[in-house]
Structure 1
Amino acid sequence: MKKLLAVLFSFMTLTTATSASTVARSTVADAVSVQQNDYVEILYFHGKQRCATCIAIEKHTKEVLQKEYADELKKGKVKFRAVDISKKENEALADKYEVTWSSLFVVKHGKKSEIKENMTNFAFSNARKKPDVFKSGLIKKIDQLLK
């Protein structure tokens, strides 16, 4: 009987310690999750085949991010995603942003809200023939949303 009680006591102690550890991990994970909610994401949507302007939009966007926002990228405050809308797994995201062709969005993700800035017309007007105008406009928008 004493052995049975000792085994039960050991089991209960182990279970309690494991539960406490799980709660602690969940709390840390939740805190990290909350911190990661505040970030600016640049979404570049494209199809399978891309024109020269589409390629320029992605190229110049990446250049801006690497040159101007390297620290923010590392910290997760700025993120970039190139999304191929011809792939089935990207349909939901394309639908969310009502995208049917190449597009550029700068989105601020907050804890409870999302601010979407559609920069598609601006990007197509400037990325290829006026890349400096495109880059400065993109920087201005990202800076505005990072505040």
Structure 2
Amino acid sequence: MKAFLVFPFVFMLAMSCSSGQSNSTSSAANIAATRIELIDFYGTHRCETCMAIEANSKYTVDTYFQDALKSGKLLFKTVNVDEEKNYALAEKFEAAGTSLFINVIKDGQEQHIDLTNFAFEKGRDQEAFSAELKQKIEEQLKAL
């Protein structure tokens, strides 16, 4: 009978002592409070330029910002505006189709920087697109 009562107690004690998970959650919460999100909104049906915008954004982030990605200071998101689960986010940014935004989150405040015109102008020129997007992201990271 004692073993029957001891087992649940030991199990509950072991579960309550796992501190590794709570530490990573705390760190993630701190990182999440101040960050930059590069958000590529798109519709289900995309033109070549729209696909190039996503590809060149991903290329730029993966090539130049690995440390910022790993630390959580920079996030790259692709969001299909045609999916119901994304309606609220698309509405928040007033994105009805392909749009590119930098969302700067600092001290709980958001600043939306619309890069859509730039993205369509340079979207099919990877070198020009990447150089300018890199500069824009670096400016915002320095300001954090």
Q: TM-score, normalized by length of structure 1?
A: 0.78
1:29 corresponds to which of 5, 11, 25? 25
* Equivalent position to 2:61, from 62, 65, 70: 65
SS in structure 2 at match of 1:63: helix
CA contact (8 A) 2:99 2:116 kept: yes
Is the alpha carbon distance of 1:144 and 1:22 closer, same or farther for their aligned partners in structure 2, counting shifts above 3 Å? same
Residue 89 (structure 1) shift: 0.3
Query: Which deviations, in whole Å up to 9, do the C-alpha atoms of 1:105-127 show, x marking residues without a partner?
Result: 01111122112110000100111
Aligned partner (choices 112, 115, 131) of residue 116 of structure 1: 112
Provide the secondary structure at the position in 2 that maps to 1:36. helix
Q: Which residue of 2 aligns with 1:79?
A: 75
How far, CA to CA, are the matches of 1:100 and 1:36 in structure 2?
26
Aligned length: 141
Contact map agreement 2:105 2:111 (CA 8 A) in 1: yes
- Distance in 2, Cα, partners of 1:34 & 1:26: 12
Q: CA 1:42–1:28 in 2, change beyond 3 Å: closer, same or farther?
A: closer
Matched-pair identity in %? 32
Q: 1:29 to 1:100 in 2, by over 3 A?
A: same
Aligned-pair distance for 1:47?
0.4
- Between the aligned partners of 1:73 and 1:50, the Cα distance in structure 2 is 26
How big is the shift at 1:21? 5.7
Gaps of 5+ in 2: 1-9
Q: In 2, Cα distance between the equivalents of 1:55 and 1:36?
A: 28
TM-score normalized by structure 2? 0.80
The one-letter amino acid paired with 1:125 is E
Which amino acid in structure 1 is aligned with residue 111 of structure 2?
I
CA distance in 1, matches of 2:59, 2:24: 34
* Local SS of the residue matching 2:33: coil
Q: Which runs of 4+ in 1 moved over 4 A?
A: 20-23, 25-28
Residue 133 (structure 1) aligned with residue 136 (structure 2): no
C-alpha contact (below 8 Å) 1:106/1:119 kept by paired residues: yes
Corresponding residue for residue 56 of structure 1 = 52
Contact 2:35 2:106 in 1 (8 A): yes
Are residues 82 and 51 of structure 1, via their aligned partners in 2, closer, same or farther at CA, if it must alter by over 3 Å? Answer: same
